[in-house]
Structures are given as C-alpha cells and as structure tokens.
Structure 1
Amino acid sequence: MANTIHFPKLANQYVGVYGTLKSGFSNHSLLGDSPLVDEGWIMGISLYDLGPFPGATRSASEQPVFVEVYAVDDDTLAALDHLEGYNPDSPCSSLYIRQQMQLEAGPNCWIYLYNKPIDGYLRLDDGIWTG
C-alpha cells in the first residue's frame, strides 16, 4: 500500500471579520487554521449592534469599521457563507451578502454586509463590536 501524502489546503483569498468571527469570540473556530494576515479599518460601511451579533452596511459614514483579515481556503469560505446565511445563487434573500472591499491600508478582502433593514438597531459609532 502506497503512502498517501496530504497537502494542506492553500489559503487563496482574504476575509475581513468584524463580529463573532473575530479572535476570542464564539464563531472564531470556524476559521480553523486560517492565519491572521492583517487588521485595520474599512471605510464606506457602518456597524450596527443586532443583539447577539453585529451587522455592517454600506454607508457614507466617515467612521470606519475595524476588521481582522484572515487568509482562507474555499472550504472555509463556504463554511463562513453558511454561517452568514449567504447564498450566492440568491443574494437578495440572503441574510448577509459577501462583497469585496478595500482595507484602508492593506489588501482587498471579502466582507459580509447585512442584507436586511437596520431600522431600530444601535449604530456603533466607534466602528468596533465588542460583543
């Protein structure tokens, strides 16, 4: 019987996380062994406290949102899509949509944007969700 060599899955894209996927929060384990590659601020979105988790939406706000950026493989990205309720075949019905955005002083990364009304939710003016 020949030995099988298992190669690690290659991380091939970046995801910026701002809520329960951040280090130390409840869903961080879904990132598995994905390495933290950067952290910083993203302009053009606002952050809202939705109760047990946050949601970011596009806005003209001058206050950026703080994200941790991880290099992820396709399987991890699919697991994140599932967590965020994102269906690429039906983005209009998705809880979150995934879009490319530019880190203020870093790489482009995928960001999950809340895809439902934010009326009545508290906007986090400092751009940081602390749980």
Structure 2
Amino acid sequence: MNQKNKILLFVYGTLLSGEPNHTLLNDARFMGKAMTQPCYELLDFGFFPTLVPEGHVSVCGEVYAVDEKTLQAIDQLEGHPHWYRRTVITLADGREVFTYIQPKEHAKKHPRIQSGDWRIR
C-alpha cells in the first residue's frame, strides 16, 4: 500500500483519467490499469459509480501513488468516512491498495454495471 511514502489508491469512476475529478490526481503517479478480484459490484448512481462488497464482478480501474495531501482532498470529495469508506482491498494481481467503497445497504436500489467498467456503462 505504501511506495516510498506514497499511498497506492485504486480509482474506478470520476477520478479515472479523462473523467471530471481526475484533476485531483494531478500530483499523483500513475501506476497502471488494474482490476479488482471478482468479489464486488459496481453500481450506477447517475453521475458517478459506487463499489460495493459481496458481489461477483471484477471492477476495472487505475492505480495511483498519492501523497497524504492528495489523499485528504480525495477523502473530502468522497465524503470519507460518512458516504464512502476508504478501505484496503486486494487487486486481482495481489497488490493491496486503498479504494472507496460503500456498504451494500446504501446501494440496494441502483442499477448494476455488469461489465465492471464505468467508462463503458
């Protein structure tokens, strides 16, 4: 999770490159594309997705090495810990990273993104 005082962060929605909130990652280092293990659901909340545990989908995203200041700005955007919760997950390649998830009970009525990819929803 930590690469020379940087925190590895998996993003899967509006923080992805080319998406509206990506500017928060301007000072971050892109570490590559990644996928989660197939144990999540990606749900469509209209203008943004949410990741929930206890599913069967691998979610597509990107990993960035971020500093504490960037992480705090993203925590604020994501409403951590009241809306999203920053949580450690294990990616398909075995890396442990932080990401933002919501409890499944917050997301019951929203449509699933079957592909696990916010960009091709």
| TM-score normalised according to structure 1 size | 0.81
The residue that corresponds to 2:64 in the other structure is 70
The residue that corresponds to 2:110 in the other structure is 121
CA RMSD, Structure 1 to Structure 2 (Å): 1.6
The residue that corresponds to 1:90 in the other structure is none
Shift of 1:38: 2.3
The answer for unaligned runs of 5 or more in structure 2 is: none
Residue 77 of structure 2 corresponds to residue 83 of structure 1: yes
Deviation >2 Å, runs of 4+: none
| TM-score normalised according to structure 2 size | 0.88
Pick one of 17, 28, 40 that aligns with 2:22: 28
Shift of 1:50: 0.4
Q: What amino acid does structure 1 have at the position aligned with 2:107?
A: I
The answer for unaligned runs of 5 or more in structure 1 is: 1-9, 88-93
Shift of 1:45: 1.3
Is the CA contact 2:15–2:25 (under 8 Å) kept in the aligned structure 1? yes
Residue 49 of structure 2 corresponds to residue 51 of structure 1: no
Q: 2-side partners of 1:11 and 1:69: how far apart?
A: 15
The residue that corresponds to 1:102 in the other structure is 90
Shift of 1:75: 0.4
Percent identity reads: 34
Which secondary structure does the structure 1 equivalent of 2:20 belong to? coil
| Structure with higher helix content | 2
Is the CA contact 1:11–1:34 (under 8 Å) kept in the aligned structure 2? no
Count of matched residue positions in the alignment of Structure 1 and Structure 2: 115
Q: 1:20-44, CA deviations, whole angstroms, 9 ceiling, x for partnerless residues? A: 0000000000012211112221022
Is the CA contact 1:11–1:71 (under 8 Å) kept in the aligned structure 2? no
Q: 2-side partners of 1:65 and 1:76: how far apart?
A: 23
Higher alpha-carbon Rg? 1
